[in-house]
Amino acid sequence: MNRPVLAANWKMNNGPTMSREFMQAFLDQYPRQNDRTILFFPPALSFAAVADAIDDRRDILLGVQNVHWEDQGAFTGELSVNMARDAGARVILVGHSERRHVFGETDEQTALKCAAAERSGMTPLLCVGEKLEEREAGQASEIVVRQLRAGFSGMKQLATRDVMVAYEPVWAIGTGRTATPEDAATMHGIIREELKELCGDRARVTPILYGGSVNPGNAASLLRSENVDGLLVGGASLDAGSWLAIAKA
Instruction: Let me know the angle formed at the C-alpha of 96 by 127 and 119, rounded to the nearest 5 degrees.
Output: 70
Amino acid at 78: E
Q: How far is residue 235's CA from residue 215's CA, in Å, rounded to a whole number?
A: 8
Instruction: Let me know the angle formed at the C-alpha of 128 by 186 and 225, rounded to the nearest 5 degrees.
Output: 30
The answer to whether residues 96 and 126 touch, using CB atoms and an 8 Å cutoff, is no
Q: What ranges in 42-178 are assigned the alpha helix state H?
A: 47-54, 81-87, 97-101, 107-120, 132-136, 140-151
First to last CA, the chain: 18
The answer to whether residues 94 and 114 touch, using CB atoms and an 8 Å cutoff, is yes
Cβ-proximal residues to 127 (8 Å cutoff; 6+ apart), any chain: 93, 94, 95, 96, 97, 100, 165, 166, 168, 211, 232
Q: Which of 122, 14, 110, 8 is nearest to 60 (CA)?
A: 8
- Show which residues are catalytic: 96, 168
